Amino acid sequence: MDKNKKKKKKTIAFDADDTLWHNEPYFDEAQAKFCELFQDFASKQEILQLILNHQVKNLPLYGFGIKAFTLSMIEAALELTNHQINGNAIEKIIGIGKDLLQKPVELLPNVTEVLEQLKGKYKLVVATKGDLKDQHRKLHDSGLGAYFHHIEVMSDKTDLDYTKMLNRLECEAKDFIMIGNSLKSDVLPVLNIGGTGIHIPYHTTWEYEKIDFEIQHENFKSISNLTELFEIL
């Protein structure tokens, strides 16, 4: 009887951006275009820091995603130019944002094969931050939608956000596994509520998502490729 209970499907949630498909390089490219536009006003490093400052300051209002990023770039441009920016430059910034919203979806290695093997054995979920419309567009374009029982586009990834999601999924924390590239958003909150956090690093990480300490926890695991999941599940 106990064995059957154990066999009850666990829930595995995947972060989307930089876990299922490439994302951060597109933002790096967008920021490089912005820096080029305003290279006469500050150094690249100063401009990047200014964009980040505005993004972090705006998170409580705008949340995450491309639209929030675009608005933060406009605010950074206003500050850089002492509010002397012209309409043409604002149009170019909006163009950078619109371009981001139309980027192709390029899956990371082994994603489809791994989902194919997990399908049916686990309840599979996407748990991601970002713009609702954009994330649904990317999931559609990825061709992965059929693998997932539930799509959760979260306004943030705090302990409370995960707890609310698990309540909706009728899943206990001990039966929940979260896989993602951000220690800050995909791992720590899940460990805090009693779930399992699996980190799969991506070669570049948004500054906001970085942490400056090592995680020591019995429910924490790190893998370098999704295929390694089968060794630890």
Contacts 24+ apart (CB under 8 A), 55-64: 55/208, 56/208, 59/156, 63/129, 63/155, 63/156, 64/129, 64/130, 64/131, 64/155, 64/156
* Tokens encoding 106: 């390029």
Residues 112 and 96 in one domain: no
Residues 115 and 88 in one domain: no
Residues 155 and 206 in one domain: yes
Residues 48 and 147 in one domain: no
Residues 120 and 169 in one domain: yes
Distance of CA 45 to the CA centre of its chain: 23
> Considering the entire predicted model, what is its pTM?
0.91
- Looking at residue 100, its pLDDT comes to 96
| Separation CA 65–CA 148 (nearest Å) | 22
What CATH number has the domain bearing residue 76?
Answer: 1.10.150.240
User: Is 198 buried (19+), middle (13-18) or exposed (0-12) by CB count in 10 A?
Assistant: buried
**CB-based contact 137:145 (threshold 8 Å):** no
**SS3 state at 122:** strand
Residues 84 and 183 in one domain: no
Residues 34 and 120 in one domain: no
What CATH number has the domain bearing residue 132?
Answer: 3.40.50.1000
Residues 95 and 151 in one domain: no
Q: Which amino acid is at 62?
A: Y
User: How many residues make up the chain in this entry?
Assistant: 233
Angle 9-194-233 (CA atoms, 0-180°, nearest 5)? Answer: 40
Residues 93 and 111 in one domain: no
**End position of a domain, from candidates 71, 100, 129:** 100
**CB-based contact 130:153 (threshold 8 Å):** yes
Residues 62 and 87 in one domain: yes
- Beta-carbon contacts of 6 under 8 Å, excluding residues fewer than 6 positions away, are none
Residues 41 and 17 in one domain: no
Residues 206 and 117 in one domain: yes
Q: What one-character DSSP code corresponds to residue 82?
A: T
**End position of a domain, from candidates 77, 100, 123:** 100
**End position of a domain, from candidates 54, 74, 100:** 100
**In this prediction, what percent of the chain has a pLDDT beyond 70?**
97
- Looking at residue 7, its pLDDT comes to 62
Q: What one-character DSSP code corresponds to residue 64?
A: S
Domain that holds residue 35: 24-100
Instruction: Tell me the pLDDT of the chain (233 aa) as tens digits.
Output: 454 445 678 999 999 999 999 999 999 999 999 999 999 999 999 999 999 999 999 999 999 999 999 999 999 999 999 999 999 999 999 999 999 999 999 999 999 999 999 999 999 999 999 999 999 999 999 999 999 999 999 999 999 999 999 999 999 999 999 999 999 999 999 999 999 999 999 998 888 898 988 999 999 999 999 999 999 98
- Looking at residue 6, its pLDDT comes to 53
| Separation CA 34–CA 44 (nearest Å) | 9
Q: Which residues pair with 199 in a beta bridge?
A: 180, 222
Q: How many domains does the chain have?
A: 2
- Looking at residue 4, its pLDDT comes to 47
